[in-house]
Amino acid sequence: MAVRKLAPDDIQPKSFAFSPENEAWAEGQIAKYPAGRQASAVISLLWRAQEQSGGWLPRRAIEAVAAKLDMATIRVMEVATFYTMFNLEPVGKYFIQFCGTTPCVLRGAGDIKKVLERRVGEQNHVSADGKFSWLEVECLGACCNAPMVQINDDYYEDLTTETFETLLDDLAAGRPVKTGPQNGRHASEPQDDIKTLQDPKLYDGSMIGAWRKRFEEEAVKTADTGEAAAATASVPEGGKAAKPPAGRPEESKAAETPATRAKAGETPIHPADRKEASDPSKATKIDPETQDKAKPAPQSDKSYVATPSKPEAGRPVPDAPTTPIAGTPPSDADTRRDGSESKPGVTVDKDNKTS
Ligand code: FES
């Protein structure tokens, strides 16, 4: 892990203040959080301060963010030095993060690194013209397009030494460059022998909504040709839709319910049911003798949970405590199991009383 410390004092700027635009933006970020929780905006403010400072965080910028959020400077310093997205020393106009993790290395990242060392120099140093600096980082999540680098906010993938040299040439000359794969791939689709997703319409937007159009066209066609009427006319009159005799249940009338009775203008409860409910001779009887005698739930004598010993069940009862007796030399402690030393001068009898 790299040592992350602030840049030397001789290259630190003397002051920092957010520009009016960034000041207004910062206020908007802070307003997203409840009163007293403005520290939650620390990362977004540090990020904006880094952008304003040319890609790195001077000490004065960290202090300014701390003052704005009413935080102790050391707290903000901890955040800035912890997250590697914050650069603590100046970087080039094009800050190259080179992926040196296994998939990229297996695909030729070592050769990309040699190009960087030859053209830019050691990592963490800005090139003489101020345009480039680079840093080796862990996987950037684009392994399907290895080897790759991130330059400022963009990924450049499927690199070879030739395409990477060309990329650096174009950036140095201020020419426009293409982000993403540099070998003609659209994304991370198979590179050779492509058999699917080859229709150019998939990528030009012309197929958006095509399925809806097709259904609409088919609906119009059906109406025009009278296919729907023909389909209805083909069903024989009086034909049976199902075959109840073949074992399928026949649809039956819904059971009489309070709702159906009320709908028919009758009382919701049938008079015969009401009479039966009020007949005490038909009420459920409870034996007063057995009512209060709670019957214990049946239990197995086997349990997965440790239970106290049951001498009556034939289990042995230990006649001595199984814990070590303090003050007993290890050689005399019959019940000692862990071999640890006991406290001298304290003894415990069989009833667990200390003296
Ligand atoms: S290993 Fe390089 S992007 Fe994942």
Measure the CA–CA gap between 160 and 29, rounded to whole angstroms.
41
Q: Is 65 exposed, middle or buried (0-12, 13-18, 19+ CB in 10 A)?
A: buried
**Ligand 1 touching residue 101 (CB < 6 A):** yes
User: What is the SS3 assignment for 157?
Assistant: strand
Measure the CA–CA gap between 149 and 171, rounded to whole angstroms.
14
pLDDT digits (tens, 9 = 90+) for 6-62: 999 999 999 999 999 999 999 999 999 999 999 999 999 999 999 999 999 999 999
Residue 140 alpha carbon to ligand 1 centre in Å: 5
**Ligand 1 touching residue 188 (CB < 6 A):** no
Q: Is 299 exposed, middle or buried (0-12, 13-18, 19+ CB in 10 A)?
A: exposed
Among residues 21, 27, 20, 72, the alpha carbon closest in space to that of 45 is found at: 27
Residue 122 alpha carbon to ligand 1 centre in Å: 21
Rounded to 10 degrees, the C-alpha dihedral 158/164/169/173 comes to: 40
Q: What amino acid is encoded at 7 in this protein?
A: A
DSSP 134: E
Measure the CA–CA gap between 95 and 150, rounded to whole angstroms.
8
Q: Count of residues for the chain?
A: 355
**Ligand 1 touching residue 65 (CB < 6 A):** no
Percent of the chain predicted with pLDDT > 70? 66
Q: Which domains, ranges and CATH numbers included, belong to the chain?
A: 9-82 (1.10.10.1590), 94-181 (3.40.30.10)
Cis peptide before 147 (omega within 30 of 0): yes
Cβ neighbour number for residue 107 with a 10 Å cutoff? 18
Contact yes or no for 82/105 (Cβ under 8 A)? no
271 to each of 258, 264, 266, how far by Cα in Å? 12, 15, 10
pLDDT at 133 over 80: yes
**Ligand 1 touching residue 140 (CB < 6 A):** yes
Measure the CA–CA gap between 109 and 98, rounded to whole angstroms.
8
Run of H or E residues at 2: none
Measure the CA–CA gap between 42 and 79, rounded to whole angstroms.
8
Residue 141 alpha carbon to ligand 1 centre in Å: 5
**Ligand 1 touching residue 109 (CB < 6 A):** no
pLDDT digits (tens, 9 = 90+) for 290-299: 555 555 555 5
Residue 210 alpha carbon to ligand 1 centre in Å: 37
**Ligand 1 touching residue 149 (CB < 6 A):** no
Residue 112 alpha carbon to ligand 1 centre in Å: 13
pLDDT digits (tens, 9 = 90+) for 229-275: 665 555 555 555 555 555 555 555 556 677 677 777 777 677 776 66
Residue 138 alpha carbon to ligand 1 centre in Å: 7
**Ligand 1 touching residue 103 (CB < 6 A):** yes
List of residues 6+ apart from 15 with CB closer than 8 A: 60
Name the pTM for this structure.
0.56
pLDDT at 339 over 70: no
